[in-house]
């Protein structure tokens, strides 16, 4: 069964203390950007043993393999999965499936949790074929109480494939926080002409456009908000949104509109609106001409990063792929860590980052390559007492 991982999984202690990556001339810091090429589990363990990194990551976005059994190829001018050629080199193989995939993901999520700050969030991008099993793993690692959203992302135009099912135009993003204190900047969409026509279609004596909303909300209360105001009780099954004294102050400010039937509603002015709250269905289609298979929409990553982190915060993507998370982080003045074991992914990521002119000048990306693990290091140290000086710095 898919959930066999639950019975056979290793303990948190075993996962965290497993083999760690070793790098040459390591200089990791939460205030530095760096790209790591190698096994992300071993790299995450190495980072989790650094005081400058452990507990410092504010935001994680990952787009792991989807357990599809597919090979994703990359060729000159042809990187989409639909138009790939068998002669193109393999960018990565999505070979791990079923409970082995869930075990693979569980261990990496445990390591990611070690790196996350108390105010951190994680967004995990997955498809609906395996995503509902992945949510159980996420509940296991981060707690059901910290689940925030199952976001549906429209990824492409409508399909007309000859299959006995509806067209598949979406995937899912699971949004969790580490605690209740996670960074949240409440992103909004700008209002458009339809809002003026359909919502803010009233004007006051000064010509300001406004809409009205009820003064009451669902649920009955026993406190002030359940008491009469100006002799009026809230409707059955509801309560006032504010205490009667606050409603009185709003009325004196001219912010309450009374209908002909004596029904009070609050005025909301267009020029004071912060915009429309973003819902849990997003339309961020994949790039038509991607740099790398499974490349995601840059604007989507910018929105996620703006919502769940602040300038200077540390963002992690340990399935970096084409580097979209890192590029978005760089353009929004966040620090970042990227990890991927694909040489093609590292090459594309480095190219995209170094050609970015978001800060007005090109940036140099330093790639850390794994030269082994702590176990192999200890063996080398035992057998070679006189190492060359350039190999003296190993990860702790």
34-75: per-residue pLDDT in tens?
Answer: 899 989 999 999 999 988 899 999 999 999 985 444 554 455
pTM: 0.83
Question: What pLDDT shows up at residue 194?
Answer: 85
How much helix, strand and coil, in percent to the nearest 5, is found in the chain?
Answer: 30, 25, 45
Lowest mean pLDDT: which of 24-28, 67-71, 105-109, 156-160?
67-71
Q: What is the mean pLDDT of residues 220-249?
A: 94
Ranges assigned E (strand) in the chain: 21-23, 34-37, 57-62, 71-73, 90-93, 116-126, 147-154, 170-177, 188-189, 202-203, 209-214, 216-218, 238-240, 256-258, 264-269, 276-277, 281-283, 314-317, 335-340, 367-373
Question: What pLDDT shows up at residue 356?
Answer: 78
pLDDT in tens, 293-323: 889 999 999 999 999 999 999 999 999 999 9
Question: What pLDDT shows up at residue 54?
Answer: 94
Question: What pLDDT shows up at residue 151?
Answer: 98
Structure-block tokens of residue 337: 């860590």
Residue that wins the pLDDT comparison between 24 and 171: 171
Per DSSP, helices labelled H in 58-209 are 98-115, 131-142, 193-198
Question: What pLDDT shows up at residue 97?
Answer: 59
Q: How confident is the model at residue 386 (pLDDT cuts 50, 70, 90)?
A: very low
Residue that wins the pLDDT comparison between 153 and 94: 153
Backbone angles phi, psi at 316, to 5 degrees: -120, 135
pLDDT in tens, 316-341: 999 999 999 999 999 999 999 999 98
**pLDDT of 395 higher than 50:** no
Q: What is the mean pLDDT of residues 181-191?
A: 95
Question: What pLDDT shows up at residue 212?
Answer: 94
Please say whether the beta carbons of 81 and 57 come within 8 A: no
Lowest mean pLDDT: which of 24-33, 80-89, 255-264, 328-337?
80-89
Question: What pLDDT shows up at residue 160?
Answer: 80
Q: What is the mean pLDDT of residues 211-239?
A: 94
> Would the CA dihedral through 163, 166, 170, 175 be positive or negative?
negative
pLDDT in tens, 92-150: 455 565 788 899 999 999 999 999 999 999 999 999 989 999 999 999 999 999 999 99
- Taking all residues of the chain, what is their mean pLDDT, rounded to a whole number? 84
Backbone angles phi, psi at 270, to 5 degrees: -60, -45
Q: How confident is the model at residue 86 (pLDDT cuts 50, 70, 90)?
A: low
Question: What pLDDT shows up at residue 72?
Answer: 41
Q: How confident is the model at residue 362 (pLDDT cuts 50, 70, 90)?
A: low
Residue ranges, comma separated, of all CATH 3.40.50.150 domains in the chain are 2-187+278-391
Q: What is the CATH number of domain 2-187+278-391?
A: 3.40.50.150
DSSP 30: T
**pLDDT of 380 higher than 70:** no
Relative to beta strand 367-373, strand 34-37 is parallel
């Amino acid at each position: 069964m898919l959930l066999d991982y639950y019975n056979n999984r290793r303990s948190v202690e075993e996962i965290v203390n497993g083999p760690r990556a070793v790098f040459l001339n390591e200089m990791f810091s939460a205030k530095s950007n760096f790209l790591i090429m190698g096994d992300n589990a071993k790299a995450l363990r190495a980072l989790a043993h650094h005081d400058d990194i452990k507990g410092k990551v504010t935001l994680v976005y990952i787009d792991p393999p989807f357990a599809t059994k597919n090979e994703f190829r990359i060729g000159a001018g042809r990187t989409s999965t639909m138009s790939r050629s068998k002669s193109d080199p393999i960018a990565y193989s999505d070979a791990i499936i079923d409970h082995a995939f869930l075990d693979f993901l569980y261990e990496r999520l445990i390591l990611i949790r070690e790196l996350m700050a108390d105010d951190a969030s994680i967004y995990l991008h997955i498809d609906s074929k395996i995503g509902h099993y992945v949510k159980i793993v996420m509940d296991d690692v981060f707690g059901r109480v910290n689940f925030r959203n199952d976001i549906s992302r429209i990824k492409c135009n409508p399909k007309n494939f000859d299959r006995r099912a509806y067209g598949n135009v979406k995937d899912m993003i699971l949004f969790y926080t580490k605690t209740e204190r996670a960074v949240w900047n409440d992103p909004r969409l700008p209002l458009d002409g339809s809002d003026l026509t359909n919502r803010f279609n009233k004007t006051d004596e000064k010509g300001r456009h406004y809409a009205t909303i009820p003064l009451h909300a669902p649920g009955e209360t026993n406190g002030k908000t359940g008491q009469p105001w100006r002799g009026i009780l809230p409707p059955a099954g509801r309560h006032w949104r504010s205490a009667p004294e606050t409603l009185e102050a709003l009325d004196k400010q001219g912010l309450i509109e009374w209908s002909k039937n004596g029904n009070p509603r609050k005025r909301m002015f267009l020029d004071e609106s912060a915009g429309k709250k973003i819902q849990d269905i997003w339309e961020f289609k994949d790039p038509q001409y991607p740099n790398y298979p499974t490349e995601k929409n840059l604007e989507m990553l910018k929105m996620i990063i703006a919502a769940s982190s602040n300038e200077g915060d540390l963002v992690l993507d340990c399935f970096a792929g084409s580097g979209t998370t890192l590029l978005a982080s760089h353009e929004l003045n966040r620090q970042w860590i990227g990890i991927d074991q694909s040489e093609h992914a590292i090459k594309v990521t480095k190219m995209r980052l170094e050609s970015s002119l978001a800060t007005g000048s090109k940036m140099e990306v330093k790639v850390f390559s794994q030269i082994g693990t702590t176990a192999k290091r200890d063996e080398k140290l035992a057998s070679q007492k006189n190492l060359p000086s350039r190999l003296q710095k190993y990860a702790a």
